[in-house]
Amino acid sequence: MSKLNWGMIGGGEGSQIGPAHRLGAQADGRFVMAAGALDADPARGRDYAQRLGVAADRAYGDWREMLAAERDRPDRIDLVTVATPNNTHFEITKAFLEAGFHVLCEKPMTMTVAEGEEIVRLARDTGRICAVNYGYSAYPMVRQMKAMVAAGELGAIRCVVANFSHGHHAAGDDADNPRVRWRYDPAQAGVSGQMADCGIHALHLASFILGDEVRTLSADFASTVPGRVLEDDAMVNFRTESGTVGRLWTSTIALGRQHGLDIQVFGEKAGLRWASEQPNQVYLHRLGGRVEIMEKGEAGLTDEAQRLSRVPIAHPEGFPLAIANIYLDLANRIAGAPAGHLPSAEDGLRSMAAVHAAVASAKADGAWVDARPPMFR
């Protein structure tokens, strides 16, 4: 297959998520990093892109310049990744979709539900791919769990419990740290702090593994560090379309937890547990049996779990390779080849609807509210 041209917006030098995209996109040799507007500072962005091997005339100072120049090139980029701060995602994603580019957008896809619906409609109308980087859903053992649930190995699912709780903003005197401050500032983060930042990963994983979307929810939000406007801790109870009970805890003040993303699924016949800090293992407990550890790469796993496993059994397989799995299937989809599941604009929209529903519920003392976007009701 011929190589695809890839461009990146945001993810500049020193950014948190930029390296995972560059490693992931280039892991399989399917994408070449051909263009970039990597930084809020044009000079820094141009310089860094060139140090990463981008040609000088495609190392852009900002995304509008990149869009204008790439649009008319015969070798224009096939895919653009949007890895800028949240409040720019909608504008950039919309502009590139309208110009006919495929897009991989970082989460949260938009700030509002209306913007999310607009992106979904635009992706449908233009026929372009708009994927959202829910990278945890591309871990081989997460795909294994999804397949086991779908095959009925757990029986009817009674309950799912998902957490994304870490302790990295536990320091009260960190409130003025620029990397922390914006996350609790409504002007920059939007209506929600930790729920929009991390809770949506846990919620997406729950609906992804179950194959069942969130229908209603009830939320309790707390700002435990004085001075924080947006929540740094949230408990969300939810029900899925088929009535499964859901529990989600997300926090930034949970000292003792590091990354803190884990999920348990409880069915009539068996339960499963997975944690992002040990992504190679799934714990399986069949009713009446003992807890078994299923290991990535062992015999008997589903074809999808085997396909997305890149290193031999028992070797660490981490976050950049999960992101590589997203890029692998983006390349397949663009080339018209068979591809696995890609987290979509619809997923990004559902997350925004759930975030806004959680905010409304928390303001109404935990009242149960409809968590679905209007266009999916």
Q: Backbone phi, then psi, for 121, in 5-degree steps? A: -65, -40
Q: Report 125-184 residues binding ligand NAD (CB under 6 A).
A: 133, 135
From residue 44, give the alpha-carbon distance in Å to each of 40, 58, 65, 225, 324: 8, 14, 15, 34, 26
Q: List alpha helices for 127-219, DSSP H.
A: 140-150, 178-181, 186-189, 194, 200-210
Region from 13-21, 50-58, 71-79, 350-358 binding ligand NAD, contact rule CB under 6 A? 13-21
DSSP assignment letter at 84: S
Which of 83, 103, 162, 248 is the binder for ligand NAD (CB under 6 A)?
A: 83
Pattern of binders to ligand NAD over 274-303, x per CB under 6 A?
------------------------------
Which of 5, 6, 7, 9 is the binder for ligand NAD (CB under 6 A)?
A: 9
The span from the CA of 262 to the CA of 347, in Å, is 19
Which of 31, 63, 238, 327 is the binder for ligand NAD (CB under 6 A)?
A: 63
Residue whose CB is less far from ligand NAD, 2 or 16: 16
Which of 19, 85, 167, 318 is the binder for ligand NAD (CB under 6 A)?
A: 85
Residue 194 makes contact with ligand NAD by CB under 6 A: no
Handedness of CA 150, 153, 155, 161 (dihedral sign): negative
Residue 106 makes contact with ligand NAD by CB under 6 A: yes
Q: Taking CB positions, which residue lies at the least distance from ligand NAD?
A: 12
User: Which residues, 6+ apart, have CB-to-CB distance to 130 below 8 Å?
Assistant: 93, 97, 102, 103, 105, 119, 120, 122, 123, 344, 345, 348
Q: Report 36-55 residues binding ligand NAD (CB under 6 A).
A: 37-40
The span from the CA of 246 to the CA of 206, in Å, is 8
Residue whose CB is less far from ligand NAD, 215 or 356: 356
Which residues bind to ligand NAD, rule: CB under 6 A?
9-12, 15-18, 37-40, 62-63, 83-86, 88, 106-107, 133, 135
